[in-house]
Structure 1
Amino acid sequence: MAAVTRVNGLGHAHATLYSTANIGFAVIDAGASLAAKGGIGSTIEAIAQAVNPIALDSEGTAGLVNICYDASQTNAAGLQVIVRGLGTVDSIDLSSATVTEGGQFIVSA
């Protein structure tokens, strides 16, 4: 029986982000701790309502919010405009917040 060696395909290289959907990953830097800003009408909720992420996570006190979003609709630059447009929410000034496109994602327990 003859053997067939596959020569075409994705190959899945190490340290490369792959997705079967048009999902974007980004980090929002609010510039101040959001640890106490998770209540109704507070900063984390305002960010979530404005950027409409697929998933969102805010941990620690560095003011960072990790998001997964529909990249067919926007990109990090567009999200930054949206977040900055929120102005000040619950004493957190988002007018200079930054949104950085992510090249990797980490899931931890």
Structure 2
Amino acid sequence: MNKKHKNLIAATAGFLVGSGISIFIAKKIKENNADQILETVKETLSAQGTVSNAWINSERISGEHYGTRTIYNGGANITSDQGETKSIDFIADADTGELFKLEVLIKN
């Protein structure tokens, strides 16, 4: 095997390993992004009271209706300082966590 073939094999192997690592990292970032957006939403909602039982659907959906690429939907319970609890659903930008829609489902 000459030097040219060895270099080609090494370059190909490097490319394949690098591509595999990049795909793995991108997938992990995308998976963790929903958790990060949920934390951002909880921080925003905490101005209204104590946030509990918060959840987010980790599957991105089209946000075309809201003027963005993708969104997440989720929900939470918020208990005010006066003891009033409300269950809410939200829609948030999948990249920034900006709330586009906040709907109160149950108010006690």
Please state which band the TM-score falls in when normalised by the shorter chain: 0.3 to 0.5
Q: What's the TM-score once normalised by structure 1's chain length?
A: 0.33
- RCO higher in 1 or 2 (8 Å CA, sep ≥ 6)? 1
Higher helix residue share: 2
Q: What's the TM-score once normalised by structure 2's chain length?
A: 0.34
Higher strand residue share: 2
